[in-house]
Amino acid sequence: MKPTIRPFIIAVAVAAIGFTSVKAADTASFSTEARAIIENRMSEKALRESRRRAELDAVPAITRRVIQKENHQITINRVAPPAPKTAPAPISAERHQPSPLTRAEFEALMANQPEQQSISLSVTVFGDEYSKILWRKPRSAEENSDAPQEFEIWTNVTLKYLTPISSFERDGIVYNYFGFGERITREGEVRRGALAENRGYDYKSRWQEPPMDFTTGQSEYVVVNDGSRSIPAELYQQMDALFGHYLENEDRFKTAFQRGQALRKAREAYLKESPPEPKEVIINHWPISKGGAR
């Protein structure tokens, strides 16, 4: 059976929903911004550690034991138990207890709640060309199957900026998305193959080609099916919602991805330039048995 390609036509322009395209010049600004953020985070961390050390040092030690390690030392202090904190006065339950909802109010409240759906899938992105999705059919309480039904979907939308866990609302339904992502490039597979050959073992490339040709300039996806199974209606509903959400917000997702990459690289560069020095560990302890006896 020939698969049917499902196209997307996203009528909402990117500019109309408040997103701007990420320009190439933004990469440098991301790096500068990330460096400043990492330096600020490290400075705040050092300040917190300094304050905590001062607090521990200020407690008089009854006995002290110092353990010298290869590049740092551990100081173990036995101290007097801290004074018990006075519990705050209990708040009257009657003052803040809301009045119970009537049955009609409860039913009205539940009726106004949006429908919730879970999307479970894994995504393999092949370069900047296309993506393969494994979509899993949600199981109902009546189904006893150990493994959910799984359907293979191919698309010319590269979902490389799709976050692993997300929640979004579309057409009055809240979709809770959970999935795993992997990116495979032609260049990376060539390098893997060459490395395997140099080391004397075989390597089977993970690169795959879609089972059909997509229309140039048109966002499409197709469900691979030999006709032996019926395709669940919720597959099309969930994929239409997910692709629509992704395509309308791709610039925002790309910006978040680039900022995350810039922060990771900035942190690596900072730690390389300013490796953390070994710190003295201080442990204050006290007996908790009655009368202070062990």
Under 8 Å between Cβ of 177 and 167: yes
Task: Classify residue 99: in a domain, yes or no.
Answer: no
Reported as a single tens digit per residue, the pLDDT across 245-294 is 999 999 999 998 889 999 999 999 999 999 888 888 999 999 876 654 54
Whether the model pTM is above 0.95: no
More confident residue, 85 or 289: 85
Backbone angles phi, psi at 285, to 5 degrees: -140, 160
* 107 inside domain: no
Q: pLDDT tens-digit profile of 125-160?
A: 999 999 999 999 877 655 555 556 899 999 999 999
Higher-confidence position of 10 and 89: 89
Count how many domains the chain has.
Answer: 1
Give the model confidence (pLDDT) of 11-58 as tens digits. Answer: 322 222 222 334 444 667 788 899 999 999 999 999 999 999 999 999
- CB-CB contact of 139 with 145 (8 Å): yes
- The predicted pLDDT at position 94 comes to 60
Task: Count CA atoms within 13 Å of residue 171 on its CB side.
Answer: 8
* Cα–Cα distance measured from residue 81 to residue 214, given in angstroms and rounded to the nearest whole number: 71
| DSSP code for 173 | E
CA distance 123 to 135: 9
Tell me, yes or no, whether 281 lies in a domain: yes
Q: Is residue 227 part of a domain?
A: yes
Residue 90 has pLDDT above 90, yes or no: no
Q: Is residue 105 part of a domain?
A: no
DSSP assignment of 70-134, as one string? SS-EEEEEEEPPPPPPPPPPPPPHHHHPPPPPPHHHHHHHHHTSPEEEEEEEEEEEETTTEEEEE
**CA 79 to each of CA 63, 64, 85, 119, 289: distance values in angstroms, whole numbers, following the listed order:** 7, 9, 17, 53, 14
- Whole-angstrom distance, CA of residue 95 vs CA of residue 190: 70
pLDDT at 74 over 50: yes
Residue 70 lies in a domain: yes
Domain extent, residue 189, equals 5-13+26-82+114-292
Q: Coil, helix or strand for 237?
A: helix
**Which one, of 119, 123, 114, 122, lies nearest residue 170 by Cα?**
114
The answer to whether residue 93 is domain-embedded is: no
Please state, for a pLDDT cut of 70, what percent of the chain lies above it: 83
Residue 91 lies in a domain: no
